[in-house]
Structure 1
Amino acid sequence: MTGSAVEQAIIRAHREQWARVVADLARRFGDLDVAEEAAAEAFAAAAEKWPRAGVPPSPGGWLATTATRKAIDWLRRESQRDARHQAALTMHDDTPLEPTGPVEDDRLRLVFTCCHPALAMEARVALTLRLLGGLTVGEIARAFLVPETTMARRITRAKVKIQAARIPYRVPSADDIRRRLAGVLAVVYLIFNEGYLAGEGSDPVRADLTDQAIHLGRLLRALLPDDGEVAGLLALMLLTDSRRPARVSRIGELVTLGEQDRGAWDRTLAAEGTALLQERIRVVAAGGGRPGRYQLQAAINAVHMAAPSTRDTNWSAIVALYGQLALLDPSPIVRLNRAVAIAEVDGPGAGLAEIDRLAELLDGYHAYHAARADLLRRLGHGPESQAAYDRAIALAGNPAERTYLTRRRRAVGETG
């Protein structure tokens, strides 16, 4: 096997096996620090040994066995307490371990531990990316624009809180899943959104975060194949990410959906997302429950992507879908998006009237002012449109969005 083939095998093993190995160690040893450290050492050992000895027939089994031994060694090095030392000895097992059997439950334990509601959202995100995504502390810190030491403290505090609060590391019950799955999905979607259109920093898109979110979505889909909202979130992320190649221009400007080159979209991702959504539609039609918020958002994206152009979009269907979504999530953001769709059906005046009802709720949100500026432009209110664009530019954190909004504001002045 060539060096590049071995390197690709290691990368693939890290993506496919990291969460399995960490989850298995966490179950065996009951300590997230041990699980994280031993898993990292096992993958480091693979990077050292596989180029010389070759990729083992069962990479997952090799990594699980190596990580278990590393965990025992780590406990021996780090802990001088007899009880813990003896516990490590009794847990030692030379039998090669295969990533089969209850590993799915192990990973589900880990998902619900990382996303426990007792933890702050920022801690849930950091732990999820570290223990399930396999990102280094440095990578997570760079993604969220904080010093590595700050992120390390954040992760450490979260682990300490898990231990101090005696948060159970166990297979979630049906009641646990029903009560807490929405929080888990929110963590994954937050990671995706931060990558797809970063709120701060010089990079408009952070593909490492969108890729990690989709990876976590696939993991949840494998663990909970019958849950409609898990499928809906994965479909939503796949459909949205399929447009990434057309999202930012060569000069670093945001390209809105209406201006995107639809031929540049990733059709493989789009087809996968569409197939997931169609499966859910069949289930719902057969009496399988009402669609949730992620399924509805995925359906809205699918309507957009089915049209050959913005002009040909079925805007009435989008207004109706946003109406259903507002019943589940009556947030001002949903109402804003519905207002934009209403403008396409009933004209910019109708859309503006809807948007203006949200003034007090969304005054600090750049997209509110951007949408309002565009509708004012279409109505011929140049000075008011420019003022709204100025407010949107001041609030926007993403550089690609600022560049786009600045161009649009300039165009209003040139035509006014």
Structure 2
Amino acid sequence: MDSKVKRVVILLCVLMGVTVIGIVILANMDSLRKKKPSATSTVSEVVSVSEEKPELQIGYDLEAWKKDASFFDRESDTLAARILEDMKDLSVKAVSEERNLRVQILDYEGERKTGEAFKIAVATEKKPNDYENYADADKDGVITIDYMEPGKYLVTLLPIDGYTVPDKPTEVVVKSKIEYEFIEDIELLFTEKTEAETRLEDTMVVGAESYADKKQNTSFAKDDYVYGVDLSDKNAVTDFNKIYESGVRFVMLRVGYRGSISGDIVIDETFDEYATLANRAGLDVGAYFFSQAVDEKEAVEEASAVYACCREKNICYPICIRVDQAGGLGRADSLSREDRTKVVQAFAETVKGFGYEPCVYASSNWLKTNLDMRKLSGYRIWMAQFNANPVEDIYYDMWQYSSKGKVPGIDGEVNLSKSFLNN
């Protein structure tokens, strides 16, 4: 197409556009005349529009907060203010074992509140105005009172700046003697030890080693018994599946021990993980606690510690109290036969109350000389004797027959046991 033709086409397009615009204007001329306002009406309309209040919408006025007198009012009834107020709430938990009282101060989440010098007032129910004050000197959120007369008491948390204390006292019964039941605040008694402290405190000695005939078996025999191992943080486990594949069908895991000098309760750091992995591999799991309890009260504490750790685990094998010597320096080494038997009974009865099968572990020599087996006949017995053949004058349900076993999935030597529970 040459330039002349192009110019003609462009011109025609422009003319057509102008024509269309003209037609539109002519068609709307009358309506435009009717809508044309006068100067006066325009002013009045502007005024009327300015006087109209627009419909309120969220975000309509971004500066409305400047006209809100309560915008920065902390005392206003807002969710944030209520939450902040609730966070100041304190509560009291009081527990008695035997002629004592242990009081915890808890925060709004029910956790022990530390770092404050709390004070409590304690009075008997019969004489509520005759009270004694006790202070949380070390600010650990726990106040312990010993040597109390049995009976009903009222515990009042005294006011402290920055917190809201309960408006009524907490009622608690101080027990006259230990009961074979769970101690609700048992975790307060758990202690973590340094490596050096552990060497001094974790001193259980397997008495069976001292009179073994040096002919102990170190492998699994081909018979109908069920084989197992016992494990603690002293054993490095690399693969629980390999343990199962080797022929092992149960594991006895150490929950913890009581320090042979201090008497502190220490939880084995591997228990939780080992119990979970053992179950996953198809192994039956039992548990034991190395006791250094010197009386029934401490035995119930140890049983409560075991329950606190086991209650969310799948424990189908017995739970044992493990009594043996602690190198001659242990706090329980000098217990009489009668007192040690009472300790074992208290532990076993408490465990039984939790719904588990109680069990007693000791070397064959200890079972004969340091425990009254007539009083323990109702419990499972896990006997340690590292001889080729076990003694025949002791009834037992499990026999720990070697301390020098080798099992795939476990680095180093491990204790081996036979179980007759399924026979």
Q: Same fold per TM (> 0.5)? A: no
Query: Which structure's CA Rg is the greater one?
Result: 2
TM-score in terms of structure 2 length: 0.30
Structure number with higher strand proportion? 2
TM-score in terms of structure 1 length: 0.30
Structure number with higher helix proportion? 1
Q: Which of structures 1 and 2 has the larger relative contact order (alpha carbons within 8 angstroms, sep 6+)?
A: 2
